[in-house]
Structure 1
């Protein structure tokens, strides 16, 4: 299996703001990790601190199924 996380970073934000926001997203997701089965096909939208959808995570099968 592969874990895939894609987050669109706002081009208008400074590097510092982008790093802070990405850190918040990763902490939030990591803190909720126990809530997911983490099986191929699982996934969900990723939201920023303004509750805007900025990406998605998913579990991908690597065995071709």
Structure 2
């Protein structure tokens, strides 16, 4: 009259692993995409902006005048 149905035990582990595996792949792809567009791309843009107008000789002369280098006068 009031009996409970038997729990599913056959292939229960495989079913749960499949669910968690798909979830793990989705989360890892989301983290990778957010890192790429949130960290890597802005960093590459910052480096490109810096080196676009960077003059190494001007920087060297400023450091030389400041007395940073011991071997040059």
TM range (shorter): 0.3 to 0.5
Return the index of the structure with the highest Cα Rg: 2
Provide the TM-score with structure 1 as the length reference: 0.36
Higher share of residues assigned strand:
1
Higher share of residues assigned helix:
2
Higher relative contact order (CA 8 A, sep 6+): 1
